Amino acid sequence: MIEDPSFEAGVPSTAWTADSDAGLPVICSYNTCFADVAHDGDWYAWFGGVLLDMEEASLSQDITIAEANSTLRFHLMIDACDSAADYLELLIDDLQVWSVDGASPLCLAPGSFQEIDLSGFNDGESHTLSFHCETFAQNILYSNFFVDALSLPGQPSVCTVDPDFIFADGFESGDVSRWVSPIP
């Protein structure tokens, strides 16, 4: 299970460990990073975007991947590409399972969902999921990699129910005064 898969808890995050050697935020919203690129909600992860300079950034959390699931899905948008040297990779327990670089056909294309095969990690045990990025500004520009809406399709989600809200209409107590019958 992935905690805060769309980064909507904002910052500081208790679910994600973020680091940028340029001192930039990795978890962003329009209000914090001035880019309106969230796929769902208001928050997203931003890797790169440093003009004329190198950056190395990462975002990670420990997750459990159920045996019934072997796919990680996330939304990716690359709206600026400096060179093939710039890359974003996905690591599970420090092993690369996916990567994209600044020469990818995904560069400057509309954002799209990526589906990553996690077979071999779907053992019900804890694993470290990490996005890691390096950008080098080789052509005096920058690359932007935006990640949002992570999921492990087929994995049960966790819901909490507020019984005061769910039963606020009084039906269970017999108070039907707020209920209207459509039959005269």
More confident residue, 176 or 130: 130
Nearest to 74 by CA among 55, 94, 100, 95: 100
**Stronger pLDDT, 103 or 155, i.e. the higher one:** 103
Residue 175: what pLDDT?
66
With cut-offs at 50, 70 and 90, classify the pLDDT of residue 72.
very high
> Looking at the whole model, is its pTM more than 0.85?
no
**What are the tens digits of pLDDT across the range 22-39?**
888 999 999 988 888 999
Nearest-5° Cα angle at 86, 38 to 141? 80
Distances (CA, A) of 85 to 79, 106, 134: 16, 15, 8
pLDDT at 149 over 90: yes
More confident site: 33 or 130: 130
pLDDT band at 79 (very low <50, low <70, confident <90, very high): very high
Q: What is the pLDDT of residue 88?
A: 97
CATH number of 17-156: 2.60.120.260
Which range has the worst mean pLDDT, 109-113, 122-126, 139-143? 139-143
Could you tell me the residue ranges of all domains in the chain? Answer: 17-156
CA distance 46 to 25: 8
In 3D, which of 48, 22, 20, 46 has the Cα closest to residue 32?
A: 46
pLDDT for 162 equals: 55
Amino acid at 184: P
- Each residue of 107-122: pLDDT tens digit? 999 999 999 999 999 9
Rounded mean pLDDT of 143-156? 87
Burial class of residue 48, CB neighbours in 10 A (0-12, 13-18, 19+): buried
Residues facing residue 46 across a β-bridge: 146
Per the prediction, the chain carries an average pLDDT of: 87
